[in-house]
Amino acid sequence: MEKDVVLLAIESSCDETAAAVVKNGREVLSNVIYSQIALHTEFGGVVPEIASRKHIEKINQVIEQALSAAGRSLADLDGIAVTYGPGLVGALLVGVSEAKAISFAAGLPLIGVHHIEGHICANYIENKDLEPPFVCLVASGGHSHLVVVRDYGKYEIIGRTRDDAAGEAFDKVARAIGLGYPGGPKIDKLSREGNPDAIAFPRAKVAENEYDFSFSGLKSAVLNYINGCEMKGEEFSRADIAASFQKAVIDVLVEHSIHAVKAYGFSKFAIAGGVASNSSLRETFSERCEREGIAFYHPSPIFCTDNAAMIGAAGYYEFLRGVRSGYDLNAVPGLKLGER
Ligand code: KG4
Ligand code: ZN
């Protein structure tokens, strides 16, 4: 029996201040998230300066809560995992500085983790049997990536968005129909009252790469539809717009993903990122994968949106591979997946 590895994980790349204690990468002993959403709502999106300040205010408290809920002290830990990119530089810096300070004070190894790797590894938490290789769709506010997970820590991005990320499109369309920030969960809810086939919005294909995404045309089509109705003095149903838009996004995500799983000859597929908590997306993938004989994996919604447990999961596999960061670890806002 190998010795257990217990990590404290810290995440502060955007508007969630989060800390978790994770054992052997898959057992979450605690998962504390302070969401700043309410603070940013009145501005219609995340204000970086406000996010950084709130992280500073909350981070110690969140870490203390995570340790106490896990019944661990710093002396019981084997390392500290922290998101160091991509994300908002000021926000990332708070987590990175905090992790470096604790690592130095407690003499614990430091492991810098890629935020997207964290999202992917969220799948390991509740799916104890899931092991690479598999294909993972990462759809968040900042990214829409189709990733081939060759092995732990070995990623190949085969598709990405050419313009807006899927979550960004949800947020922008939500704003256009007056739902406010963050748009994803609100569109998800309103869609249940609408007809997904009411309006024929476009499903964009990117000529040069069959796995790439483009959502800006869809967003413009929604805005044009609303303008058109307003100019003609016609009423429009916000629920039908939400449902039809959502279906257009999901159709593209599903088609590209299933195509990739088959083309690469895998039998396992996973989803990750904030958009992966969308109820209709989960149902659609679940049905489609079942029909295609593909094993479908997904984290619970709480592990889809930003959290630190996923950073603890990713950090564990990096730790096993011998990855250790120095005290020169810095926030890297544009960090690429697979880069160090
Ligand atoms: O992964 P995440 O929490 O943060 C980033 O790393 O970006 O993703 C946030 C994004 C936001 O754009 C939000 O609107 C979207 O995920 N989102 C959703 C849902 N919940 C969150 N999109 C669609 N349906 C949802 N239920
Ligand atoms: Zn994220």
> Cα angle vertex 105, ends 101, 110, to 5°?
60
Residue corresponding to tokens 């406000």: 50
Q: Which residues contact 89 (CB under 8 A, 6 or more apart)?
A: 48, 331, 333
Quick check: 190 pLDDT over 70? yes
Q: Is residue 334 part of a domain?
A: no
Residues 194, 179 within the same domain = yes
Specify if 231 maps to a domain.
Answer: yes
User: Residue 1 has what pLDDT?
Assistant: 62
| Shared domain check, 311 and 284 | no
Q: How far apart are CA 273 and CA 227, in angstroms?
A: 31
Same domain flag for 151 and 270: yes
Regarding whether 66 and 156 lie in a shared domain, the answer is no
φ and ψ at residue 31, rounded to 5 degrees: -150, 100
The CATH number of the domain holding residue 144 is 3.30.420.40
User: Rounded mean pLDDT of 91-115?
Assistant: 98
Domain assignment present for 227 = yes
What is the distance in angstroms between the CA of the first residue and the CA of the last residue of the chain?
31
Determine the pLDDT at residue 207. 83
Q: Each residue of 263-298: pLDDT tens digit? A: 999 999 999 999 999 999 999 999 999 999 999 999
- Position in ligand 1 atom list of the atom nearest CA 115: 6
List, in sequence order, every residue forming a beta bridge with 21; answer none if it has no partner.
8, 30
Residues 42 and 82 placed together within one structural domain of the fold: yes
- Alpha-carbon gap, residue 143 to 279, rounded angstroms: 19
pTM, 2 dp: 0.97
Same domain, yes or no, for 203 and 281?
Answer: yes
- Asked whether residue 330 is assigned to any structural domain, the reply reads no
CA 51, distance to chain mean position in Å, is: 18
Q: How many domains does the chain have?
A: 2
Closest alpha carbon to 139 in 187, 184, 180, 205 = 184
Average pLDDT of every residue of the chain = 96
Q: Do 148 and 263 share a domain, yes or no? A: yes
Residue 338 forms part of a structural domain: no
Q: Which domain holds residue 222?
A: 132-299
Q: Which ligand is nearest to the CA of 164?
A: 1
List residues near ligand 1 (CB under 6 A).
14, 140-142, 167, 170-171, 182-185, 188, 273-275, 277-278, 305-306
